[in-house]
Chains A and B, each alone.
Chain A
Amino acid sequence: MIHARLQLDHGAFSLDLDVQLPGRGVTALYGPSGSGKTTCLRCIAGLERPAQGFIEVNGQVWQDTEHGVFVPPHKRPVGYVFQEASLFAHLSVRANLAFGLKRIAPAQRRVDMDQATDLLGIGHLLDRQPHNLSGGERQRVGIARALLTSPRLLLMDEPLAALDTRRKNEILPYLQRLHDELDIPVLYVSHSQDEVARLADHIVLLDAGRAQASGPIGETLARLDLPLALGDDAGVVIEGKVSGYDPAYQLLTLNLPDSQLNVRVAHTSLALGQSLRFKVQARDVSLSLANDAQTSILNRLPVTVISEQAADNAAHVLIRLEAAGTPLLARITRYSRDQLKLHPGQVLWAQIKAVAVLA
């Protein structure tokens, strides 16, 4: 468990948060720039000292202003990945990596040099100087360097924001491996819904220094009362389980959580039972009163209408649906809504035009 209660006033900007976050998995701090994501992260690392604050991470109190407790940043077992990799310019890649490692007592090391360099694919860069690396390579070294302090909590401040799309796509798989292979809780600051959808298990939505929502990624992304649902990218993230593969058509079958309902998606074969995260965007979901088999649309699921909400454009509405307990969003025209006479509790069919596998 991570409990952070922070109050801070920088004149035009103020932060007033009280969040409880899971002590495992990836938690995204998501919000527009200026919403206080980075400040929150810096407070947890001890780089910033809020006027009022209480920070407890998995049973350890790092700050408690009421009782005069403030653990200085170098005594907090965190790894911090900055937006720019911020490698030490006077040290080689190897020496950068060793910087944190050699300051950790051997008995407390849980990540070693080989593991970190393998995980981030930087073994061939060790003897280079930072200025000879690409932006993506630099950021991977920065992540490995943070990991090598064997942190109890990894803080990542928009690690991909300074990179172009190609570099982002180069790093994302490494981050996903991190998530899968290391049991280190991560706080991940981002303003990219795509990154959040791929990486986060839990999301805290920040706006103007306040937490608007905090919850598991699947539920939270499907909430109509949050601005998350309004954007063009709005959609839900679903953690599916591989339940079959059709080699002839190269289609993978993924069951929805705790359900026999499934979707099929073009993919290579995977082991049965393996988890796979995919995203269904609201604009890719259409609704039909009947299960129309005479269509090219592969995935059709029986759903229940839960609620609706005006979209950011007057012609559209957003419909919140549930498919055997799994939330879905559909973005349809107001005209269609009236034609279908949609109302809460109504049962009908969702046709899913595209399923994007995220991992």
Chain B
Amino acid sequence: MRLTHFAPLLFPFMTIGAVQAAEVQVAVAANFTAPIQAIAADFEKDTGHKLVAAYGATGQFYTQIKNGAPFEVFLAADDTTPARLESEGDTVKGSRFTYAVGTLALWSAKAGYVDNKGQVLQHADFQHLSISNPKTAPYGLAATQVLDKLGLTAQVKGKLVEGQNITQAYQFVSTGNAELGFVALSQVYKDGKVTSGSAWIVPADLHDPIKQDAVILDKGRDNPAATALVDYLKGPKAAAIIQTYGYQR
């Protein structure tokens, strides 16, 4: 109590925002868990606001938001869900923007299995190729576009196994049940390199961009922390963090 009261006096270099320190409830796509945690630390330090994050599937967040969930900012795993919320009038107009662009990677838990040109797909001497559900997961859709473009769709048809989301697609590969799979680079990438196994970073021109959009929701309309977070995500500090996790901007 007393500390809060004297905080401006004790820390005269703090920004004005800290005086009106607020809390922001954020719904975060599960694949963005690690980056948002790194960003949140900096964001809280720099602005004095507090970020409370819930992680989950974008489709489920949509349903929850439509049914009155108290989220103020939504960091989706795609661009269609925020657009849909916007068209249905559940967001602050004009707040929608792309906070990250996902990078697709063909990955195997085995070192040396995936070559850096993705030739392994042509040989097709694997049993299972893991992707995320193309109907619901943008990475899954991108994966099918890549296969189409490479003319391999028919060839791998019987070998595709689908995870419900990108986490599960990764799990199938990491446990060895599928020899390889299309995952989010962010899942296997840290500080500028692939952390384990072998991967082919799929060129962006083989599929539509995997845009992850953010939006301020109705409930965050008057929360200065919500606006602050969106501004922060657009800034260079967040961009640098996001890139170390294998996303583009």
Is A–B contact present in the complex under a CB 8 A cutoff?
Answer: no
B-contacting residues of A (Cβ < 8 Å)? none
- B residues with CB within 8 A of A: none
